[in-house]
Amino acid sequence: MKAVLLAAGRSQRMQPVPDKNFLMFLGKPLVVHQIEQLINAGFRDIIIVGGAHNLNSLKALTKSFNFKKAKLSFAEQKNLDDGMAGAIISLKNKIIDHEPVIFVSSNDVVDGKAFDLMKKACSDKKNGSCILAKRVIKYFPGGYLKTNKQGFIQKIIEKPAEGKEPSDLVNIVIHCHKNPKKLIEVLEKTKTTKDDRYEVALDKLIKAGHKLKAVEFDGFWQPVKYPWHVFKVMQFFLKNIKKKISIKAEISKRAVINGNVIIENGVKIYDNAVINGPSYIGQNTIIATSALVRDSMINENCVIGFATEIARSYLGNNVWTHTNYIGDSIISDNCSFGSGTVTGNLRLDEGDISVNIRGQKVNSGMNKFGLITGENIRAGINTSFMPGVKIGSNSMIGAGIIIPYDIPENSFVIGKVDLEIKPNKAKVSNGSREEMMKKLK
């Protein structure tokens, strides 16, 4: 069976976080984890679909990793607005008649048993196609499945309004089609004004008698659609780690390392630093004196400076800090924070924090959520970022100011400080502190 990894998405809802395919988890980009999972599930022929914005990067990335057990090839999706339908149509000349194909989203993160379930279901002669599905408790803005008693799908409803869902069964983008050529024929004839061409084509197949099976899955699943989903994926990877400290790391005898922590080559950890697991410290990162890292993922070449606390946060490569608090935040590559700068992560009323997504406020479902940055950010000393704020790439934020709302990319932000200067009429002490010391005893 051929596997197709769909990686052409533009990550628009993730902004200012760059292409989610290249987010680093445990020292590897997300797309590499996905390829390795397909290989571990037994797939040996894998096509990666990208777009003009990322196809060359995907090709270069896969060359830097050793995938001896599988043959990788690539296809370009020309029309990115056509969603999954456009990706599948781009494979028209790469798919053989009646050759089963499994289509997998590069940013639907699942545990391995999902592929075992799908392979078993696809081998059943009663099923013409199979869609992995999961029952949800809360509303999810995705495709919902209406099924009969035998578990065959009768209709797919893409993004119904909350309260209008036909069931609690949600479509996960791991789909197996035994006759993908027929699917492509129907897709090419299907017209729609919405981003649901693929779903409409499947409805046509169902009405024509095609047996489309919903394969229920109760394991871990996290789609990466919004910035806060990075935390869920980070926690998934951290949950499964075992304590591992490289012999090429330099760790002070006065440092404290608790729980399951991975410390990579070239890491330096200084006196009185504390790392509480589960946490990951990437290559050549420095954890300075009296720093605290807990439940976080810190990637390569970072500096966690003196007296800095990193709590439940994701840091990309080359992030520099000094006497900072970074809590429940997502910090992209090449960002630097001046001394005393902090991220607020809790509203005064302790309510859920909303984030501006493409002009609309979206509830993150989290009551602790800090800063989201793009790449190449510089923040001055004693700056405060309010919860859920986003800073666009290539921006500089001045010192001593409060940032209560989003900053677009390529911005230079300064704040005005009005000082009133007048003659001093108060008596200045001669420096003796004897009376004060007596009060302290």
Are 180 and 285 contained in the same domain?
no
Distance of CA 330 to the CA centre of its chain: 9
Are 245 and 209 contained in the same domain?
no
Residue 428 lies in a domain: no
CA pair distance 310, 243, nearest whole angstrom:
19
Strands of 81-237, DSSP E: 101-105, 108-110, 129-135, 143-147, 153-158, 169-177, 212-216, 221-223
Are 55 and 169 contained in the same domain?
yes
CA pair distance 184, 177, nearest whole angstrom:
11
List the alpha helices (DSSP H) in 212-358.
229-239
Q: Are 106 and 34 a contacting pair, CB within 8 Å?
A: yes
What's phi and psi for 249, nearest 5 deg? -95, 150
Higher pLDDT, 94 or 48: 48
Q: Are 282 and 299 a contacting pair, CB within 8 Å?
A: yes
Are 389 and 336 contained in the same domain?
yes
pLDDT band at 170 (very low <50, low <70, confident <90, very high): very high
Domain boundary among 175, 202, 225: 225
Domain boundary among 225, 250, 270: 225
In the block, residue with structure tokens 């790391």: 249
Are 202 and 237 contained in the same domain?
no
**Rounded average pLDDT over 347-375:** 95
Domain CATH number, residue 97? 3.90.550.10
Other beta carbons within 10 Å of 18: 17
Q: How many domains does the chain have?
A: 2
CA pair distance 401, 383, nearest whole angstrom:
5
Residue 397 lies in a domain: yes
* Whole-structure pTM value: 0.92
Residue 95 lies in a domain: yes
At residue 67, the pLDDT reads 85
* Full residue range of the structural domain in which residue 146 is found: 2-225
pLDDT above 80 (res 50): yes
For residue range 7-37, what is the model confidence (pLDDT) as tens digits?
Answer: 999 889 999 999 999 999 999 999 999 999 9
Residue 434 lies in a domain: no
For residue range 274-315, what is the model confidence (pLDDT) as tens digits?
Answer: 999 999 999 999 999 999 999 999 999 999 999 999 999 999
Residue 418 lies in a domain: no
Domain CATH number, residue 379? 2.160.10.10
Strand partners, 257: 275
Are 251 and 373 contained in the same domain?
yes
Domain boundary among 208, 225, 242: 225
pLDDT above 80 (res 360): yes
The half-sphere exposure of 382 on its side-chain side, counting CA atoms within 13 A, is 4
Helix (H, G, I), strand (E, B) or coil at 46: strand
C-alpha distances (whole Å) from 176 to each of 101, 103, 123, 251 are: 6, 6, 10, 49
CA pair distance 234, 263, nearest whole angstrom:
16
Q: Which tokens hold the place of 169?
A: 């069964």
For residue range 120-162, what is the model confidence (pLDDT) as tens digits?
Answer: 998 888 898 999 999 999 888 888 999 999 999 998 888 888 8
Tell me the average pLDDT of the chain: 93
Give the CA angle between residues 202, 233, 136 to the nearest 5°. 50
Q: Are 196 and 155 a contacting pair, CB within 8 Å?
A: no
Are 14 and 153 contained in the same domain?
yes
Other beta carbons within 10 Å of 427: 6
**Rounded average pLDDT over 361-389:** 97
For residue range 390-424, what is the model confidence (pLDDT) as tens digits?
Answer: 999 999 999 999 999 999 999 999 998 888 999 98
pLDDT band at 441 (very low <50, low <70, confident <90, very high): low
What's phi and psi for 207, nearest 5 deg? -65, -25
